[in-house]
Amino acid sequence: MTAKHFELAQELAQWYAGFSDVQAVALGGSVAGGSGDAKSDIDLYVFTAQPPPLSARQALASERRSPRADMNLNFWDLGDEWFDGVTGIEVDVMFWDPAWIEGQLDQIEQMGLPKDTEILCICRSGARSASAASALTQAGYANAWNVAQGFEGDKDATGHRGTVGGWKAAGLPWVQS
């Protein structure tokens, strides 16, 4: 990760943290995993039951001189994608309700698994699963692991996932149903 990525991530995290409903902001993707480079995007995960108003998020992208902003997307999760015109870095922001992790933990608890069961957590990019593995560890599961970079990994130079990092790009076994 370049210093420019880190500075932008910190600045944006502080901006989102200024909203009273925001409980946490986490950096994910290749930048957080230490494999990012100058072409990497920033993946921010904003944990909140109520995302900041769309108008405020649009104003942020505009203030950052974004030449393109796709806001209020719902393909994977609610989120925004935009290019930071100041730094040239793509920004992907996803809004997650903290109750999601609590619900996942409840499901594991209901299974009655012994606390020493090995549990592998995986998601698309490795961010939600990192939060889930952390919650499991805090709940006393000694062998909860995150699959770093998730299933699809980071976006490649053309903006597609599944070719750079992640389970799929590593050639590990998987099937599609």
* Residues 124-139 pLDDT 10s: 877 778 878 888 888 8
Cα end-to-end span (Å), the chain: 36
pLDDT at 53 over 90: yes
Residue spans in the chain of domains classed CATH 3.30.460.10:
3-96
Nearest to 139 by CA among 102, 96, 99: 102
Which superfamily, per CATH, for 3-96? Answer: Beta Polymerase, domain 2 (3.30.460.10)
For residue 12, the model assigns a pLDDT of 97
Nearby residues of 161 by Cβ (< 8 Å), 6 or more positions away = 124, 125, 152, 153, 154, 155
Pick the CATH number of 99-169 from 3.40.50.300, 3.30.70.270, 3.40.250.10, 3.30.360.10: 3.40.250.10
Answering whether pTM is above 0.75, one says no
Dihedral sign for Cα 100, 130, 43, 63, please.
positive
pLDDT at 1 over 60: no
> Two tokens at 22?
């925001």
What is the C-alpha separation between 2 and 7, in angstroms, rounded? Answer: 9
What is the C-alpha separation between 19 and 8, in angstroms, rounded? Answer: 18
pLDDT at 121 over 80: yes
Instruction: Give percent of the chain above pLDDT 90.
Output: 45
Helix residue spans in the chain (DSSP H): 3-17, 29-33, 54-63, 99-111, 127-138, 166-169
Average of per-residue pLDDT values in the chain: 88
pLDDT at 74 over 80: yes
Question: Taking a C-beta distance cutoff of 8 angstroms, is the pair 81, 94 a contact?
Answer: no
Mean pLDDT value across residues 35-43: 80
Using CB atoms within 10 Å of the CB of residue 46, give its burial: 0 to 12 exposed, 13 to 18 middle, 19+ buried.
buried
- Please provide the size of the chain in residues: 177
For residue 77, the model assigns a pLDDT of 78
Q: How confident is the model at residue 58 (pLDDT cuts 50, 70, 90)?
A: very high
